[in-house]
Amino acid sequence: MSTVSETIHVPAPVDEVFAFLDDPNNHMAVTPSIADIDNVERLENGGKRLDHTFRMAGVALDGELVQTVHEPDERMVFEMRGRLEGEIGLQFEAEDGGTRLTYAATYEIPGNVLSAVAAPFARRYNERELRTTLENVQTHFEVAG
């Protein structure tokens, strides 16, 4: 299992950042490796279940995301199922007139991807991916603001 985590300041109120990331299509817009999102269903807990395709090292990884925790304006937790397994957590906290957004992911890299991108390179790839995703969220709100 690999774990990556990053925090960034987003220049927008917590409720706006949470609402933005509560829309699965926005994840596709800010996360470079998400190639497709389909079959989005709302769950009883307020979260969502969806099918997705994630690209890592040129390999398409189809799977399902299930939002197991949906606490408005506080946190979201997604369980990744399929070829890429693990958990993604988003934490939202008010900070200096904006939002402190923390993104953490724990995942198992499939063997075919691991053999294509040795483990240290895969970890750096995912750290860069996470950082780019957070920077894209930040930029979205800087441009919109």
Provide the pLDDT for residue 126: 74
This prediction has a pTM of 0.80
Among 84, 83, 91, 110, which residue's Cα sits nearest to residue 18? 91
d(Cα 73, Cα 70) in Å, to the nearest integer?
9
Residue 123: what pLDDT?
A: 66
Give the pLDDT of residue 40: 95
pLDDT tens per residue across span 72-98: 999 999 999 988 889 999 999 999 999
Sign (positive or negative) of CA dihedral 42, 66, 37, 27: positive
Distance linking the first and last C-alpha atoms of the chain = 38
3-class secondary structure, 130: helix
CB within 8 Å of 103: residues ≥ 6 apart: 5, 6, 7, 88, 89, 90, 130, 133, 134
pLDDT the model gives residue 96: 95
Residues 56 and 48 sit within 8 Å (Cβ to Cβ): no
User: How far is it, in rounded angstroms, from Cα 91 to Cα 101?
Assistant: 6
Residue 59 confidence (pLDDT): 79
- pLDDT at residue number 2: 77
CA separation for the pair 90, 7 (Å, rounded):
10
Q: How far apart are CA 108 and CA 81, in angstroms?
A: 10
pLDDT on residue 119: 60
Q: What is the pLDDT of residue 17?
A: 98
Closest Cα partner for 127 from 99, 105, 108, 95? 105
Question: Which residues of the chain carry a pLDDT beneath 50?
Answer: 115
